[in-house]
Amino acid sequence: MIVSYKTMNLLWSALSEAILSTTMASATAIVRRAERNLISENQGTITITANWAKSLLYRKNFVKWRGSTAMKMTPENFDSIKEHFIYDVKL
C-alpha cells in the first residue's frame, strides 16, 4: 500500500491532536483532583495550555508507555499449579 505524503501528514496531524487532547485532559484531571478551585474555569489562576500540561505530566513522571523488559519467571512447579487451578475451575 502506497500512502502519499499529504495523507501521512494528515494522519500525523490527527494523531498529534489526539495525543495533545489526552495530555491536556490528563493534566486537567490531576489539577481538579488536587485543588478544583485553581483551574481558570472555576475562577482560579491556572490556565491549562499544551506546554503546561506536558510539563506537569513530565514532573509527575507520567509516560505514554511504561513497560517491563524483564522476563517473567515461571515457577518450578508450574504443572502442579496448573492442574490444581484446572481442578478448582471444574468444581
Nearest to residue 59, comparing CAs of 28, 27, 85, 91? 27
**Looking at residue 1, what is its pLDDT?**
58
**Looking at residue 69, what is its pLDDT?**
59
76 vs 82: CA distance, rounded Å: 11
- DSSP label at 38? G
All three cell numbers of 40: 481558570
Length of the chain: 91
Q: For residue range 57-91, list pLDDT tens digits in order.
A: 788 777 666 566 565 667 788 888 888 888 888 86
Question: In the chain, what are the domain boundaries?
Answer: 5-90
Given a cut of 80, whether residue 14 has pLDDT beyond it is no
For the question of whether the overall pTM of this predicted structure is more than 0.75, the answer is no
